[in-house]
Amino acid sequence: AYDYIPRELLDRKKTGFSVPLDKWLRGPLKNKLTDYASPAFLKQQGLFNADATAKLITDWLGAGDGGAYTGSNYSRIIWAFFIFQQWAERYLQV
């Protein structure tokens, strides 16, 4: 493959890629996320602290993650909440 691809590309360490959770949750999934995070929905569901959860997601949608080493990177937590809500919608029927 060295004849066709530069040696520095073939001999480098493997690198992964990140999943664009932030873009998905702020883009095509935003409306569904805000539906799941509405205080009325959360209170009716009875599984989460409605006010705290709604505030976390509203604040995150407004400010986004804080960047590396800030302690304020919530994309993965919000993603887990989103996926859980999809599962609950289908299987718990709360």
Would you state the structure tokens that stand for residue 48, as one six-digit string? 């989460």
Domain that holds residue 52: 19-91
Q: Is the residue at 10 inside a domain?
A: no
Three-class SS state of 53: helix
Phi-psi region of 40 (alpha: psi -120 to 50; beta: other; left: phi over 0): alpha
The pTM of this model reads: 0.78
Q: Please, what is the angle between helix 50-63 and helix 75-91, to 10°? A: 130
- Give the confidence band of 93 by pLDDT, cuts at 50, 70, 90: confident
Q: Based on the structure, what is the number of domains in the chain?
A: 1
Q: How many CA atoms lie within 13 A of 76 on its CB side?
A: 6
Q: Is the residue at 66 inside a domain?
A: yes
Burial of 25 (0-12, 13-18, 19+ CB in 10 A): buried
Q: Is the residue at 72 inside a domain?
A: yes
Question: What does pLDDT average to over the chain?
Answer: 90
